[in-house]
Amino acid sequence: MSKMRAVQVSRPGGPLELVERNIPEPGAGSVRIKVEACGICHSDSLTVEGHYPGIQYPRIPGHEVVGVIDAVGPGVAGLAVGQRAGVGWHGGNCGYCNSCRRGDGFACETASAVTGLTYDGGYAEYLVAPASAVAVVPEGLSSVEAAPLMCAGVTTFNALRNSGARPRDLVAVLGLGGLGHLGVQFAVKMGFRTVAIARGKDKEPLARQLGTWRYVDSQTQDPAAELTALGGAKVILATVTNADAMNATLGGLGVNGTFMVVGAAGDLTVSPVFLLAGRRSVKGWYSGTSIDSQDALGFSVLTGVRSMNEVYPLARVSEGYERMLGGKARFRVVLSMEQ
């Protein structure tokens, strides 16, 4: 049996180990992808630390996977060997349960699969994924460029396009990290008056380079007051993982405004009167399914949205993972199998 290089975690809290594994065979309804690039996402720490119920070890992390289909299992329609393909967090959905039939495949009741958590992910030369989890990757994006769009990209893109904001509306993006630097680009390209909010004056040149209309330094300015002075935000996309930063910004929502939470943080504090008097809402957003990822990729080709990446070979995965975990990466870390 042919072998592949892979990076696995053998136990909760265990190290990332470069190992040799058998190349997996695709079963019914699945395809095998020869991986070309895989992003390292903060959520990969769930696999590494074991902070997710029922993980079976050893497990290969990675849910920002891009490569080429090299084998197709029985019963797969619409995908073929040689096609460029990507797999994100959403590990597939059944298509027949009540949620799927309502168009809410993200909440599939039968297939609660998560790439790199409930089955092996993309820190490897090959992975097998259910066909329903596969996005077709367009020409116009390299695999390294496409990989971070499979989680960070689709999360911000999909939250914004479902936020209710319309062109020229005031939209704030809180945080300018891996998610935020993509969120600002998407917001600008969707035609919103975009306000980037981050800590420190030193982030402003980057925010301007990404096309933001206004920049708010949350260390020296009050983000809620600044947004209110601009008329109040229709949408605030909260990409940070810090509840204090979210709480300091929430008050900047305008009438009918929505606070869209995509970053996992501690508890929010919100005044019911503030919500009801202005018909404001707080809403969480799940990244998206394979077709949402495909739309995020296509939109990025169309408008020039790109992730800024630090690229590492598979053998230096631990170094890349530490960069991500320490918040030092500018801005996403991507493993390239070609290096």
Count of positions (residues) in the chain: 339
- Give me the least distance between CB of 148 and Zn ion, in Å please: 9
Q: CB nearer to Zn ion: give 76 or 224.
A: 76
The footprint of Zn ion on residues 158-187 (CB under 5 A) is none
Q: CB nearer to Zn ion: give 42 or 199.
A: 42
Query: Of the candidates 83, 78, 132, which has an alpha carbon nearest to the alpha carbon of residue 290?
Result: 132
Say whether residue 41 binds Zn ion (CB under 5 A): yes
Say whether residue 37 binds Zn ion (CB under 5 A): no
- Give me the least distance between CB of 8 and Zn ion, in Å please: 18
- Give me the least distance between CB of 106 and Zn ion, in Å please: 10
Rounded to 5°, angle at Cα 299 from 140 and 47: 90
Q: CB nearer to Zn ion: give 30 or 93.
A: 93
The contact pattern for Zn ion, residues 142-161, with x = CB under 5 A and - = no contact, is: ---------x----------
- Give me the least distance between CB of 14 and Zn ion, in Å please: 20
Q: CB nearer to Zn ion: give 108 or 233.
A: 108
- Give me the least distance between CB of 257 and Zn ion, in Å please: 26
The footprint of Zn ion on residues 76-115 (CB under 5 A) is 93-94, 97, 100, 108
β-pairing, 170-174 vs 233-238, is parallel
Stretch that binds Zn ion, among 42-50, 158-166, 238-246, 305-313 (CB under 5 A): 42-50
Q: CB nearer to Zn ion: give 100 or 261.
A: 100
Backbone Cα Rg of the chain: 20
- Give me the least distance between CB of 212 and Zn ion, in Å please: 24
Find the binder of Zn ion among 8, 43, 289, 309 (CB under 5 A). Answer: 43
- Give me the least distance between CB of 121 and Zn ion, in Å please: 10
The footprint of Zn ion on residues 196-255 (CB under 5 A) is none
Q: CB nearer to Zn ion: give 40 or 76.
A: 40
What are the structure tokens assigned to 12, written together?
């909760």
Peptide bond into 186 cis (omega under 30): no
- Give me the least distance between CB of 281 and Zn ion, in Å please: 25
β-pairing, 3-8 vs 134-136, is unpaired
Per-residue 3-state assignment (H helix, E strand, C coil) for the chain: CCEEEEEEECCCCCCCEEEEEECCCCCCCEEEEEEEEEEECCCHHHHHHCCCCCCCCCECCCCCEEEEEEEECCCCCCCCCCCEEEECCECCCCCCCHHHHCCCHHHCCCCCCEECCCECCCCECEEEEEHHHEEECCCCCCHHHHHHHHCHHHHHHHHHHCCCCCCCCEEEEECCCCCHHHHHHHHHHCCCEEEEEECCHHHHHHHHHCCCCEEEECCCCCHHHHHHHCCCEEEEEECCCCHHHHHHHHCCEEEEEEEEECCCCCCCCCCHHHHHHCCCEEEECCCCCHHHHHHHHHHHHHHCCCCCEEEEEHHHHHHHHHHHHCCCCCCEEEEECCC
The site that binds Zn ion (CB under 5 A) totals a number of residues, namely 8
Stretch that binds Zn ion, among 33-41, 68-76, 230-238, 307-315 (CB under 5 A): 33-41
Stretch that binds Zn ion, among 3-11, 38-46, 114-122, 167-175 (CB under 5 A): 38-46
Q: CB nearer to Zn ion: give 111 or 246.
A: 111
Say whether residue 291 binds Zn ion (CB under 5 A): no
- Give me the least distance between CB of 331 and Zn ion, in Å please: 13
Query: Contact residues for Zn ion (CB under 5 A)?
Result: 41, 43, 93-94, 97, 100, 108, 151
